[in-house]
Amino acid sequence: TRKYFYDNISMIPDEKSYKVVDVTSGKVIGVLDESFLSTFSGEVFAMKGELWRVLSVEDCVKVEPANLEGEIPSWTGEEIPVPFEVAQEVGKLRKLVLEGFYLDICDERSRREVVEKIREHAKDFEIPAHDCVVIEGSDKNVIINVCFGHKANEAIGRIIALLLSLKKGTNVSVEIDPYRVKLYPASPEEVKEIVLNVRDVEKLAETAVLDTKLMQWKIVKVARKFGFFDKEDDLSRINLRNLIVKLRGTPIYREALREIFVEKLDVEKAKLFFEKIGKEIKLFVYNKFTPIGVETREKFPDVLITKSPEIVLKAFKERLMSEICRVQCVNCGANYKEPLGDLKLKCIRCGSSLIAVVGEKKKELKKDEAIKVANLIASYGLRAVYAMLTYGIGFETAKRILSRFFETEDEFFKALLEAERNYIRTRKFWD
């Protein structure tokens, strides 16, 4: 009891923080909390304006640059939520502007741009407002213009995405802001059919968050607060999906769900939306993007950048070239350290070419191991040194890579980089 009291006396969650390390350059790029990391092995997330994929979580978080094409970040940070009441006022303001109301809350240039955009939109389309929802898009992308705020739109978007996924048999991604919900892949008619036929909103909202990173993240925080986990427990080795299934119906599960509904999803406002849509709230559907929608689409993914394969490979090579080598001479037993840039493939004491080279932080090789590595270096030269300096590559892996034919040096270094990534991804199964 005393231990639980002292562990939980503060309302501020007490959890570990981990440095995030780019394996290609060896540089620290940021810090993440443990509860966040426990849900993210293998996932893509955004940090410092770039996309990264988690390879492993140990003493630090090892990540690699993710390819932007085809990658959707699972997490990009959070915005301060815009409340339902504020979003509704924005909807009302759109109509007032169309009716000639003078905006005195901004400068003249901004006022003119707002008025022009709304009037351009109103020529051919209904204005999305507090009492009017506009669904627009193509056969793959849909935007639901709904002025319900962050939390309500989060609930609305997740419920629609869930029902679309069940209907189509494929995952449907959802992105929200206070004034719209964006869905892919989906068509306006599919979304309209679902929006007009949603029932049992609270149950659907629970189902929609059940198998999500959000629920996993929250269940970890609540379980720790309940004393289900000790501070020392390594959460990276716990299957959180199975944990949620086992905890379903328990106080921990109910509290995690309650906190999500308070902090992230406004289920009551979502109920209001589905009850009133097509009645008090008018609904309009367009099979193309409106001026307001086009502006939104242009803001979608381009803010996230990624490193090209060439830049990633360059960073990896630069990291290798900056390594300090531990050199062991098989002939005279000399043991010394030398920067890779100054390394000579002969012993500095006796001149023998039978030297074994490993990274500075690696343990000294046993005699039989040193002989194997020395023979490898005698056969393949500097390439063998590069292989032995690569994190996670031992004698057997180095030998296998060196035996292959590479047309260029870059192809060789790519093979080393891929072997390092593979080791980091699978290390927990071997250790």
- Tens digits of residue pLDDT in 129-158: 999 999 999 888 999 999 999 999 999 999
pLDDT, average across residues 97-112: 75
Confidence band of 40 (pLDDT split at 50, 70, 90):
low
pLDDT at 68 over 60: no
Are 402 and 376 contacting, i.e. CB atoms less than 8 angstroms apart? yes
Query: 408 and 336: one domain?
Result: yes
pLDDT, average across residues 324-331: 93
Smallest CA-to-CA distance from 427 within 60, 51, 47 is with 60
Smallest CA-to-CA distance from 357 within 341, 342, 370 is with 370
The residue range of the domain holding 156 is 84-214+269-297
Give the pLDDT confidence score for residue 107 in this predicted structure: 73
Share of the chain above pLDDT 70, in %: 84
Q: Out of 35-44, 96-105, 314-323, pick the least confident.
A: 35-44
Query: 9 and 123: one domain?
Result: no
Give the CA radius of gyration of the chain. 28
Give the pLDDT confidence score for residue 398 in this predicted structure: 94
In a domain, 117, yes or no: yes
Q: How many structural domains does the chain have?
A: 3
pLDDT at 409 over 80: yes
In a domain, 242, yes or no: no
Confidence band of 211 (pLDDT split at 50, 70, 90):
confident
pLDDT, average across residues 236-246: 81
Give the pLDDT confidence score for residue 16 in this predicted structure: 67
Give the pLDDT confidence score for residue 216 in this predicted structure: 85
In a domain, 254, yes or no: no
Give the pLDDT confidence score for residue 360 in this predicted structure: 83
Give the pLDDT confidence score for residue 36 in this predicted structure: 64
Task: Write the CA distances from 122 to 129, 280, 403, 406, integer angstroms.
Answer: 12, 21, 68, 61
Task: Write the CA distances from 402 to 107, 117, 222, 397, 409, integer angstroms.
Answer: 66, 62, 50, 9, 12
Query: 293 and 321: one domain?
Result: no
pLDDT, average across residues 112-133: 89
Distance CA 402, CA 276 (A): 68
Query: 326 and 292: one domain?
Result: no
Q: Is the pTM of this model over 0.75?
A: no
Distance separating the N- and C-terminal Cα atoms of the chain: 35
In a domain, 223, yes or no: no
Smallest CA-to-CA distance from 204 within 248, 240, 155, 249 is with 155
Query: 290 and 152: one domain?
Result: yes
Higher pLDDT residue, 67 or 321? 321
Give the pLDDT confidence score for residue 171 in this predicted structure: 84
Burial grade of 58 (CB within 10 A; 0-12, 13-18, 19 or more): middle
In a domain, 423, yes or no: yes
Give the pLDDT confidence score for residue 362 in this predicted structure: 79
Give the pLDDT confidence score for residue 392 in this predicted structure: 85
pLDDT, average across residues 219-225: 86
Confidence band of 75 (pLDDT split at 50, 70, 90):
very low
Query: 146 and 24: one domain?
Result: no
Query: 137 and 281: one domain?
Result: yes
Confidence band of 269 (pLDDT split at 50, 70, 90):
very high
pLDDT, average across residues 258-275: 95
pLDDT at 74 over 50: no
Query: 278 and 416: one domain?
Result: no
Give the pLDDT confidence score for residue 135 in this predicted structure: 97
Token look-up 């999906």 returns: 241
In a domain, 145, yes or no: yes
Distance CA 356, CA 421 (A): 24
Higher pLDDT residue, 54 or 107? 54
Q: Out of 80-89, 105-114, 190-199, 396-405, pick the least confident.
A: 105-114
pLDDT, average across residues 366-375: 93
pLDDT, average across residues 17-24: 84
Query: 289 and 147: one domain?
Result: yes
Confidence band of 62 (pLDDT split at 50, 70, 90):
confident
Confidence band of 304 (pLDDT split at 50, 70, 90):
very low
pLDDT, average across residues 418-427: 79
Q: Mean pLDDT score of the chain, rounded to an integer?
A: 84
Give the pLDDT confidence score for residue 266 in this predicted structure: 96
Higher pLDDT residue, 117 or 267? 267
pLDDT at 245 over 70: yes
In a domain, 408, yes or no: yes
Query: 168 and 291: one domain?
Result: yes
In a domain, 72, yes or no: no
Query: 289 and 332: one domain?
Result: no
Query: 366 and 273: one domain?
Result: no
Higher pLDDT residue, 348 or 231? 348
pLDDT at 351 over 60: yes
